[in-house]
Every structure is written in structure tokens, then in C-alpha cells.
A = this chain, B = another copy of it.
């Protein structure tokens, strides 16, 4: 009797709070199916496949695997390695298929953004050309919420929830100290799209609540325009709370954080330290004459498991599970999508989209989600986002008062191929 086929699960790109929940869905479903031999982890995404750096997840303790649901970042390991066009990276693609063959891997589950879906799609096509039976399934992942074909991306709801509570809490701090520390700027992720910055808008239930202004790359503004908005808020409330996306652009379409006139370089010609928040802080002190401070949660926003959305975790898990279920039914070359059912009560099921459609698409923030002034959200955005951030993640706490996150033992598979160069 031939050995059962094996499956690889891999994670790619910037981690999120719930990409491990997706991995958990894949692993648990694959293990219980009885149709898959080993579930294998590829350390650091496609890099792990190329380097044949693989480990046996099936040999991990069940509680370690279950712990994925409440552990942030990417426990299998992620990477930013991008396979280029097929013509330029033919050797890499071929190597991937060779590694799959060497380890009898017939299923490839890849969680990532549109670059990862592109990779999965190309690997799939190359395998087909080589007449190697392979099923490639994508699992959506990105805090940026910009994947096409899905209502929303697992990972986005949790970053949204953390950014909103951060604006709410720091907003109260600014309110309390407004006689001196009058303006606070919260710089959040989002190089090309304002999805994350806009999420902070949920924190504002009445006009005096933070954030008062949200600035996003989709709505470029000149320094003068921005400062006029600050002055107007300051006049009304005596304090100003701004959320800005890191990729905020000026009226010429230039990224503010790279504005050379606003920046200086150091003795070595290195670009100025700090991002848009620090630049805005200087502008506000100079042009408005009030004290401002800039803060930047950085990777903490996409790793905040301690305040993750239970809805997000549930849906991320579901995406992983459905990828396996569909793969075992013969579906191939698809990414699992989240489908919002019609009706007043939020209900979410899954669907399927072609990997190539996801790879070549991008979901922009709908115009109806941004207010007329281009500096806050509308009710439509609230209605879209609010159901996604419901529920508190349950995390296991240690005796020391802090969360317990899992970590794999990583029992390596023996390599069977020459070293990858």
C-alpha cells in the first residue's frame, strides 16, 4: 500500500494576530481527515520549502497545535521572500516542485497576501506541466485588508480592534492632560491603503471623542490643509487626536514620511529617523503652536493577541479548515474567501476564488466609507467593521500574570535533496 500523501502548511508575509488560527484549522482538519499522512511545516514560508527546511507538525503535542488559536505572529515562521516572474525564477519554482516530490507532498496550504497567492498559483501550474499531482490552496491573510474576492481578510479585524481601543485610550489621556499635552498623533500601519487608520474611527462615538482626524494615503492633503484641520479641531475641543496611516501622502502625491524638505539626513546621508507621525508633530508645533506627541505601536498592532477579536480568530480558523475540506473534495488552485451573508444579523460563510484572481486584484476602501472631508469614517464603514471585532479572544494565562503562547518543538524532516543555493 502506498504511503498516504503529505501536506505542507506555510505562512508568508507580515504576521497577524490570527494567521496561526488559520494554521490550526489546516492542521487539525488534515490530521482528523485520515487522508493525509504527515502535516509538514515549512520554516519561514516558501524559503523553508526552497531550503528543504521542513518539520513534522503531526508529531507536535495536540495542546501545542491547539495553542495556535491563541498565539500571535507566525509560529511556523514567515518570510518576505518573493518569487519573481516564472521566467526569472524558473529554477526556484522547479526546486519547489522537486522538494514536494521528494517528500511526497500532494497538498500545499499557503496563508498569505496576494504575492503568496501568486506564488501558489505558479507552483500549481508548474506541477501540472510536470504531470505531478498537486493541490494548492490559499488562505487569506493580511492586516491590510486589501485582498480581492473576499469580504474581509483574517487579521484585519484584530488589528482594527487594537487600533480602535488604542485611539480610545490614548484619546482619554490627551483629554486629561490637554492643558499641556494638547495633541497626540497615532501612526498606524498602511503603506498604500487607509483600512487600518480608518478602523480607529470606530473609537469616536461622539464628536469630542478621539480620533478627531484620520489621515490616509487615499486622501492626500497639503501641509496647510492638514494644519487647518488641526486648528479647527483645537478651536472646538481644546485638544486634537490624529490617527495617520504610515503611507499618508501630500498634495503632490508624495509620501509625507519621505518628504525630503521636511526631513534632514544625518552625517552619513541616511534618511531621517521616524515616520510621518514625527514629521506631523514638528509641523503642528511649528504651525499651530501646540505641544504634540507622536506614538507608533508598530508590530504590536498586528500581534495584539491579548485583545484580539474572537470573531476574527473563529473565521481565520474556518478558512484553514475549509481549505483542507475543499482540497480533499478535489478543489484546486483556489483561495478560501469570507462571504458576508445578507441580512441584519452578521453571518459569515466561506467561498472560493481563483488564486490568479486574488493575485491580480486589490480591494480599495470604498468611497462610501470615507466622509466628505476625507478625514473620518461614515456609518457604512462602522456597519462593515463593527461586527468583525466582536468578542474577546480567550487566552491561556500563566502563573506570572502573562499569556502563555505556544512554540513548536520543530522536529526536522531529513533532507533528501542537494542544498539549495
A contacts, CB < 8 Å to B: 11, 14-15, 44, 47, 71-75, 77-81, 161, 164-166, 168-170, 172-177, 179-181, 184, 186, 202-203, 205, 262-268, 270, 272-274, 278-279, 281-282, 286, 293-300, 302-307, 309, 382, 386-387, 389-392, 397-403, 405
- Tell whether, in the assembled complex, residue B390 and residue A168 are in contact, meaning their CB atoms are under 8 Å apart: no
- Tell whether, in the assembled complex, residue A47 and residue B179 are in contact, meaning their CB atoms are under 8 Å apart: yes
In the docked arrangement, what's the CA distance between A293 and B275, Å? 11
- Tell whether, in the assembled complex, residue B264 and residue A300 are in contact, meaning their CB atoms are under 8 Å apart: no
Give the Cβ gap from A389 to chain B, nearest Cβ, in Å: 4
- Greatest chain B CB density within 10 A among A15, A44, A174, A181 is at A15
CB contact between A72 and one of B44, B169, B387, B403 (< 8 Å): that residue: B169
| Other A-B pairs beyond A79-B179, A296-B298, A389-B402, 10, CB < 8 Å | A77-B176, A79-B180, A164-B402, A264-B267, A268-B286, A270-B286, A274-B278, A297-B300, A307-B307, A389-B400
- Tell whether, in the assembled complex, residue A303 and residue B169 are in contact, meaning their CB atoms are under 8 Å apart: yes
**A175 surroundings in chain B (CB, below 8 A):** 73
In the docked arrangement, what's the CA distance between A295 and B300, Å? 8
Q: A177-B15, A279-B273, A295-B297 are in contact. Are A71 and B303 (CB under 8 A)?
A: no
In the docked arrangement, what's the CA distance between A79 and B178, Å? 8
Could you name 29 residue pairs across A and B whose Cβ atoms are closer than 8 Å?
A: A15-B176, A44-B179, A47-B179, A71-B172, A72-B173, A73-B169, A74-B177, A78-B176, A80-B177, A80-B179, A81-B179, A165-B402, A168-B402, A169-B304, A181-B299, A202-B400, A262-B266, A263-B266, A264-B265, A264-B266, A264-B267, A294-B298, A295-B298, A295-B300, A296-B298, A307-B307, A309-B401, A386-B401, A389-B401
- Greatest chain B CB density within 10 A among A72, A268, A309 is at A72
User: Nearest B residue to A76 by beta-carbon distance?
Assistant: B176
Q: A273-B278, A296-B296, A298-B295 are in contact. Are A177 and B79 (CB under 8 A)?
A: yes
User: Nearest B residue to A266 by beta-carbon distance?
Assistant: B264
In the docked arrangement, what's the CA distance between A387 and B402, Å? 11
- Tell whether, in the assembled complex, residue A176 and residue B401 are in contact, meaning their CB atoms are under 8 Å apart: no
**A202 surroundings in chain B (CB, below 8 A):** 400-402
Q: A176-B74, A279-B273, A282-B273 are in contact. Are A303 and B161 (CB under 8 A)?
A: no
**A77 surroundings in chain B (CB, below 8 A):** 176
**A304 surroundings in chain B (CB, below 8 A):** 169
Q: A202-B402, A297-B300, A299-B295 are in contact. Are A173 and B44 (CB under 8 A)?
A: no
- Greatest chain B CB density within 10 A among A78, A173, A175 is at A173
**A386 surroundings in chain B (CB, below 8 A):** 399-401
- Greatest chain B CB density within 10 A among A11, A175, A179, A281 is at A179
- Greatest chain B CB density within 10 A among A270, A306, A386 is at A306
User: Nearest B residue to A47 by beta-carbon distance?
Assistant: B179
**A402 surroundings in chain B (CB, below 8 A):** 161, 164-165, 168, 202-203, 389
Give the Cβ gap from A65 to chain B, nearest Cβ, in Å: 16
Give the Cβ gap from A64 to chain B, nearest Cβ, in Å: 14
Give the Cβ gap from A165 to chain B, nearest Cβ, in Å: 5
**A174 surroundings in chain B (CB, below 8 A):** 299
User: Nearest B residue to A74 by beta-carbon distance?
Assistant: B176
**A286 surroundings in chain B (CB, below 8 A):** 268, 270
**A73 surroundings in chain B (CB, below 8 A):** 169, 172-173, 175-176
